[in-house]
Amino acid sequence: MAQNPGASASSKQNQSKIPDIIIKLLLAIAALAVLIPMLFMITASFMPVMEIRKMPYRWIPSHIAWSNFYRAVAGNDGNFVFIRNVINSLLVSSTVSFFTVILSAITGYGLAKFRFKGRNIVFMAIMMTMMIPFETIMVPLYMVALNLGFQNTYRGLIVPFLMNAFGVFMMRQYLQTFPDDMLDASRIDGCSEPEIFAKIVMVNSGPALASLAILTFRQQWDNLIWPLMIAQEKRLKTVPTYIVSFAEEKFADEGAMMAVAFLASIPVIIMFITLSKYFVMGSAVYSAGKE
Protein backbone atom coordinates (compact mmCIF):
# COMPACT_ATOMS: atom_id res chain seq x y z
CA MET A 1 0.00 0.00 0.00
CA ALA A 2 1.42 3.38 -0.99
CA GLN A 3 2.14 5.80 1.84
CA ASN A 4 1.13 9.42 1.76
CA PRO A 5 4.36 11.48 1.74
CA GLY A 6 2.54 14.54 3.04
CA ALA A 7 1.10 12.69 6.03
CA SER A 8 4.50 11.20 6.86
CA ALA A 9 6.20 14.62 6.76
CA SER A 10 3.44 16.12 8.91
CA SER A 11 3.85 13.32 11.49
CA LYS A 12 7.60 13.87 11.69
CA GLN A 13 7.09 17.62 12.06
CA ASN A 14 4.63 17.09 14.93
CA GLN A 15 7.08 14.72 16.64
CA SER A 16 9.88 17.28 16.34
CA LYS A 17 7.70 19.88 18.10
CA ILE A 18 7.15 17.67 21.17
CA PRO A 19 10.65 18.25 22.69
CA ASP A 20 10.26 22.02 22.13
CA ILE A 21 6.91 22.01 23.94
CA ILE A 22 8.39 20.06 26.86
CA ILE A 23 11.35 22.44 27.10
CA LYS A 24 9.07 25.49 27.04
CA LEU A 25 6.84 23.95 29.70
CA LEU A 26 9.83 23.24 31.96
CA LEU A 27 11.11 26.80 31.45
CA ALA A 28 7.67 28.19 32.32
CA ILE A 29 7.60 26.12 35.52
CA ALA A 30 11.10 27.30 36.44
CA ALA A 31 10.12 30.92 35.78
CA LEU A 32 7.06 30.55 38.02
CA ALA A 33 9.18 29.00 40.77
CA VAL A 34 11.40 32.09 40.67
CA LEU A 35 8.70 34.73 40.23
CA ILE A 36 6.10 33.50 42.74
CA PRO A 37 8.23 34.27 45.85
CA MET A 38 8.99 37.73 44.43
CA LEU A 39 5.30 38.31 43.69
CA PHE A 40 4.42 37.21 47.22
CA MET A 41 6.98 39.66 48.66
CA ILE A 42 5.59 42.56 46.61
CA THR A 43 1.91 41.89 47.32
CA ALA A 44 2.48 41.12 51.01
CA SER A 45 4.37 44.38 51.49
CA PHE A 46 1.14 46.27 50.67
CA MET A 47 -1.15 44.07 52.80
CA PRO A 48 -2.29 44.40 56.40
CA VAL A 49 -0.73 41.79 58.65
CA MET A 50 -3.93 39.81 59.12
CA GLU A 51 -4.38 39.36 55.37
CA ILE A 52 -0.84 38.01 54.99
CA ARG A 53 -1.58 35.29 57.54
CA LYS A 54 -4.84 34.21 55.92
CA MET A 55 -4.98 30.89 54.09
CA PRO A 56 -5.65 30.52 51.24
CA TYR A 57 -3.51 33.52 50.45
CA ARG A 58 -5.17 36.46 48.67
CA TRP A 59 -2.83 37.85 46.03
CA ILE A 60 -4.69 41.17 45.81
CA PRO A 61 -4.83 43.22 49.04
CA SER A 62 -8.20 44.59 50.14
CA HIS A 63 -6.51 47.95 50.74
CA ILE A 64 -2.96 49.25 50.59
CA ALA A 65 -1.24 49.37 53.98
CA TRP A 66 1.27 52.20 53.51
CA SER A 67 2.10 51.95 57.21
CA ASN A 68 4.18 48.85 56.40
CA PHE A 69 6.67 51.00 54.53
CA TYR A 70 6.74 53.66 57.23
CA ARG A 71 7.59 51.05 59.89
CA ALA A 72 10.16 49.49 57.55
CA VAL A 73 11.97 52.79 57.02
CA ALA A 74 11.57 54.08 60.57
CA GLY A 75 13.15 50.97 62.07
CA ASN A 76 12.78 49.38 65.47
CA ASP A 77 13.55 52.54 67.43
CA GLY A 78 12.10 55.07 64.98
CA ASN A 79 15.42 56.72 64.09
CA PHE A 80 15.18 55.99 60.33
CA VAL A 81 18.60 54.31 60.28
CA PHE A 82 17.45 52.32 57.24
CA ILE A 83 18.22 55.31 55.00
CA ARG A 84 21.81 55.42 56.27
CA ASN A 85 22.12 51.65 55.80
CA VAL A 86 20.94 51.92 52.19
CA ILE A 87 23.54 54.64 51.54
CA ASN A 88 26.21 52.40 53.10
CA SER A 89 25.22 49.46 50.89
CA LEU A 90 25.20 51.65 47.78
CA LEU A 91 28.63 53.05 48.63
CA VAL A 92 30.18 49.67 49.42
CA SER A 93 28.60 47.78 46.49
CA SER A 94 29.37 50.51 43.93
CA THR A 95 32.98 50.94 45.07
CA VAL A 96 33.66 47.20 45.12
CA SER A 97 32.01 46.76 41.71
CA PHE A 98 34.06 49.58 40.16
CA PHE A 99 37.43 48.36 41.40
CA THR A 100 36.59 44.70 40.74
CA VAL A 101 35.75 45.50 37.12
CA ILE A 102 38.93 47.54 36.61
CA LEU A 103 41.33 45.16 38.37
CA SER A 104 39.76 42.04 36.87
CA ALA A 105 39.94 43.57 33.37
CA ILE A 106 43.63 44.44 33.82
CA THR A 107 44.50 40.99 35.15
CA GLY A 108 42.35 39.16 32.61
CA TYR A 109 43.87 41.18 29.77
CA GLY A 110 47.38 40.34 30.91
CA LEU A 111 46.60 36.63 31.19
CA ALA A 112 44.76 36.53 27.84
CA LYS A 113 47.02 38.62 25.58
CA PHE A 114 50.54 38.56 27.04
CA ARG A 115 52.75 35.51 26.98
CA PHE A 116 55.16 35.13 29.89
CA LYS A 117 56.71 32.31 31.81
CA GLY A 118 54.38 30.81 34.37
CA ARG A 119 51.25 32.40 32.92
CA ASN A 120 49.20 29.21 33.16
CA ILE A 121 50.46 28.55 36.69
CA VAL A 122 49.36 32.03 37.76
CA PHE A 123 45.94 31.52 36.20
CA MET A 124 45.47 28.12 37.83
CA ALA A 125 46.53 29.52 41.20
CA ILE A 126 43.89 32.23 40.87
CA MET A 127 41.28 29.67 39.89
CA MET A 128 42.15 27.51 42.89
CA THR A 129 41.06 30.30 45.21
CA MET A 130 37.52 29.94 43.79
CA MET A 131 37.36 26.48 45.35
CA ILE A 132 38.01 27.80 48.87
CA PRO A 133 34.79 28.60 50.77
CA PHE A 134 34.69 32.06 52.33
CA GLU A 135 33.93 30.50 55.71
CA THR A 136 37.38 28.91 55.81
CA ILE A 137 39.21 32.22 55.42
CA MET A 138 36.69 34.35 57.29
CA VAL A 139 38.43 34.27 60.67
CA PRO A 140 42.00 34.83 59.34
CA LEU A 141 40.70 37.65 57.14
CA TYR A 142 38.98 39.20 60.15
CA MET A 143 42.20 39.03 62.19
CA VAL A 144 44.14 40.74 59.39
CA ALA A 145 41.49 43.46 59.11
CA LEU A 146 41.52 43.90 62.88
CA ASN A 147 45.31 44.32 62.96
CA LEU A 148 45.14 46.87 60.13
CA GLY A 149 42.61 48.94 62.04
CA PHE A 150 39.73 48.21 59.67
CA GLN A 151 37.21 47.45 62.41
CA ASN A 152 34.13 49.71 62.14
CA THR A 153 35.42 51.50 59.04
CA TYR A 154 34.39 51.66 55.41
CA ARG A 155 37.82 50.29 54.53
CA GLY A 156 36.94 47.09 56.37
CA LEU A 157 33.76 46.70 54.34
CA ILE A 158 35.36 47.46 50.98
CA VAL A 159 39.06 46.52 50.79
CA PRO A 160 38.79 42.71 51.29
CA PHE A 161 36.51 42.40 48.23
CA LEU A 162 38.19 44.68 45.69
CA MET A 163 39.36 41.67 43.69
CA ASN A 164 37.92 38.22 43.07
CA ALA A 165 38.96 35.19 41.07
CA PHE A 166 35.66 34.87 39.23
CA GLY A 167 36.09 38.36 37.76
CA VAL A 168 39.57 37.47 36.50
CA PHE A 169 38.28 34.25 34.97
CA MET A 170 35.36 36.03 33.32
CA MET A 171 37.47 38.79 31.78
CA ARG A 172 40.18 36.38 30.64
CA GLN A 173 37.65 34.17 28.86
CA TYR A 174 36.11 37.19 27.17
CA LEU A 175 39.38 38.87 26.16
CA GLN A 176 40.77 35.67 24.68
CA THR A 177 38.29 36.24 21.85
CA PHE A 178 39.38 39.86 21.41
CA PRO A 179 41.00 40.23 17.93
CA ASP A 180 44.81 40.43 18.09
CA ASP A 181 44.88 42.27 14.77
CA MET A 182 43.22 45.28 16.36
CA LEU A 183 45.80 45.36 19.14
CA ASP A 184 48.71 44.97 16.71
CA ALA A 185 47.36 47.76 14.50
CA SER A 186 47.16 50.05 17.53
CA ARG A 187 50.76 49.27 18.46
CA ILE A 188 51.88 50.06 14.90
CA ASP A 189 50.06 53.40 15.16
CA GLY A 190 52.17 54.22 18.19
CA CYS A 191 49.67 53.61 21.00
CA SER A 192 51.13 52.64 24.36
CA GLU A 193 49.84 49.59 26.22
CA PRO A 194 47.85 51.69 28.74
CA GLU A 195 46.24 53.56 25.85
CA ILE A 196 45.38 50.32 24.08
CA PHE A 197 43.82 48.94 27.22
CA ALA A 198 41.83 52.08 28.08
CA LYS A 199 40.73 53.24 24.64
CA ILE A 200 40.32 49.95 22.77
CA VAL A 201 39.99 46.97 25.12
CA MET A 202 37.77 48.60 27.75
CA VAL A 203 35.63 50.46 25.21
CA ASN A 204 34.90 47.26 23.27
CA SER A 205 34.30 45.03 26.31
CA GLY A 206 30.99 46.54 27.40
CA PRO A 207 28.99 43.28 27.70
CA ALA A 208 31.58 41.54 29.88
CA LEU A 209 32.18 44.61 32.04
CA ALA A 210 28.46 45.21 32.57
CA SER A 211 27.84 41.54 33.43
CA LEU A 212 30.68 41.53 35.94
CA ALA A 213 29.49 44.82 37.45
CA ILE A 214 25.94 43.50 37.94
CA LEU A 215 27.09 40.21 39.49
CA THR A 216 29.57 41.93 41.80
CA PHE A 217 27.08 44.60 42.85
CA ARG A 218 24.44 42.00 43.68
CA GLN A 219 26.94 39.86 45.59
CA GLN A 220 28.03 42.78 47.75
CA TRP A 221 24.49 44.05 48.19
CA ASP A 222 23.52 40.65 49.62
CA ASN A 223 26.71 40.26 51.69
CA LEU A 224 25.71 39.56 55.29
CA ILE A 225 28.38 37.59 57.15
CA TRP A 226 31.29 40.00 56.69
CA PRO A 227 29.42 43.23 57.60
CA LEU A 228 28.12 41.49 60.73
CA MET A 229 31.70 40.74 61.75
CA ILE A 230 33.52 43.93 60.78
CA ALA A 231 30.91 46.63 61.53
CA GLN A 232 29.18 46.77 64.90
CA GLU A 233 28.22 50.45 64.79
CA LYS A 234 24.75 51.23 63.46
CA ARG A 235 26.05 54.01 61.22
CA LEU A 236 28.14 51.47 59.27
CA LYS A 237 25.63 48.65 58.96
CA THR A 238 24.37 47.64 55.53
CA VAL A 239 20.91 46.63 54.30
CA PRO A 240 21.26 42.86 54.98
CA THR A 241 22.35 43.48 58.58
CA TYR A 242 19.44 45.90 59.01
CA ILE A 243 17.01 43.24 57.77
CA VAL A 244 18.43 40.70 60.24
CA SER A 245 18.13 43.03 63.22
CA PHE A 246 14.68 44.17 62.06
CA ALA A 247 13.43 40.60 61.70
CA GLU A 248 14.76 39.64 65.13
CA GLU A 249 12.86 42.39 66.93
CA LYS A 250 9.85 42.72 64.61
CA PHE A 251 9.30 39.00 64.23
CA ALA A 252 5.50 39.36 64.31
CA ASP A 253 5.27 42.27 61.84
CA GLU A 254 5.22 40.39 58.55
CA GLY A 255 3.98 43.38 56.56
CA ALA A 256 6.89 45.60 57.62
CA MET A 257 9.39 42.79 56.99
CA MET A 258 8.04 42.26 53.47
CA ALA A 259 8.23 46.01 52.89
CA VAL A 260 11.89 46.03 54.02
CA ALA A 261 12.69 43.15 51.66
CA PHE A 262 10.91 44.89 48.78
CA LEU A 263 12.71 48.19 49.34
CA ALA A 264 16.05 46.39 49.62
CA SER A 265 15.55 44.71 46.23
CA ILE A 266 14.76 47.91 44.31
CA PRO A 267 18.38 49.12 43.70
CA VAL A 268 19.44 45.75 42.28
CA ILE A 269 16.36 45.59 40.05
CA ILE A 270 17.03 49.11 38.75
CA MET A 271 20.66 48.27 38.02
CA PHE A 272 19.72 45.08 36.18
CA ILE A 273 17.09 46.84 34.06
CA THR A 274 19.55 49.62 33.21
CA LEU A 275 22.27 47.19 32.12
CA SER A 276 20.08 44.27 31.02
CA LYS A 277 21.02 44.62 27.34
CA TYR A 278 24.72 44.28 28.14
CA PHE A 279 24.06 41.55 30.70
CA VAL A 280 22.32 39.38 28.10
CA MET A 281 25.08 40.08 25.60
CA GLY A 282 27.56 39.02 28.26
CA SER A 283 26.48 35.40 27.77
CA ALA A 284 29.02 35.45 24.96
CA VAL A 285 31.66 35.28 27.68
CA TYR A 286 30.73 31.72 28.55
CA SER A 287 30.07 30.55 24.99
CA ALA A 288 33.42 31.98 23.95
CA GLY A 289 35.14 30.09 26.73
CA LYS A 290 33.70 26.81 25.50
CA GLU A 291 34.84 27.25 21.91
63-96 pLDDT per residue, tens: 788 888 888 888 777 777 888 889 999 999 999 9
pLDDT given at position 88: 92
Amino acid at 16: S
Q: What are phi and psi of 27, to 5 degrees?
A: -65, -40
CA 273 to chain centre: 13
Nearest CA among 226, 228, 242 for reference residue 87: 242
| Residues 6 or more apart whose Cβ sits within 8 Å of residue 105 | 171, 175, 197, 201, 202, 205, 209
Cα–Cα distances in angstroms (integers) from residue 285 to residues 104, 129, 162, 251, 279, in the given order: 14, 20, 21, 43, 10
Angstrom distance (rounded) from CA 275 to CA 201: 19
Confidence of residue 286 (pLDDT cuts 50, 70, 90): very low
- Amino acid at site 78: G
**pLDDT, tens digit (0-9, with 9 covering 90-100), for 11-28:** 555 555 677 788 888 888
Give the architecture-level CATH label for domain 76-290: Orthogonal Bundle (1.10)
CA–CA dist 172, 210 (Å, integer) = 15
Q: What is the structure's pLDDT at 289?
A: 46
Q: Which residues contact 268 (CB under 8 A, 6 or more apart)?
A: 217, 218, 221
Instruction: Read off the pLDDT of residues 102-117 as tens digits, 9 standing for 90 and up.
Output: 999 999 888 888 888 8
pLDDT at 14: 55
Q: What is the pLDDT of residue 65?
A: 82
Please report, for the chain, the start and end positions of each structural domain, with discontinuous segments joined by +: 5-45, 76-290
What amino acid occupies position 18? I
* pLDDT digits 0-9 by tens, 192-229: 888 888 888 888 888 888 888 888 998 899 888 899 88
Q: Nearest CA to 119 among 176, 164, 180?
A: 176
CA-closest candidate to residue 157, choices 209, 233, 83: 233
pLDDT at residue 158 in the model = 92
CA 227 vs CA 159, 197, 215, 240, 287: distances in Å: 12, 34, 19, 9, 35
Residue 282 has pLDDT above 60, yes or no: no
Which of the pair, 154 or 62, is modelled with greater confidence? 154
Question: Do the Cβ atoms of 223 and 99 come closer than 8 Å?
Answer: no
Q: Is the pLDDT of residue 30 over 70?
A: yes
Q: What band does 251 get if pLDDT is binned at 50, 70 and 90?
A: low
pLDDT of residue 6: 53
Band of pLDDT at residue 288, cut at 50, 70 and 90 = very low
Position with higher pLDDT, 291 vs 46 = 46
Tell me what the mean pLDDT of segment 246-250 comes to. Answer: 65
The kind and range of the H/E element at 13 are helix 5-45
**Cβ atoms of 206 and 224 closer than 8 Å:** no
Question: Residues 30-46: what's their mean pLDDT?
Answer: 84
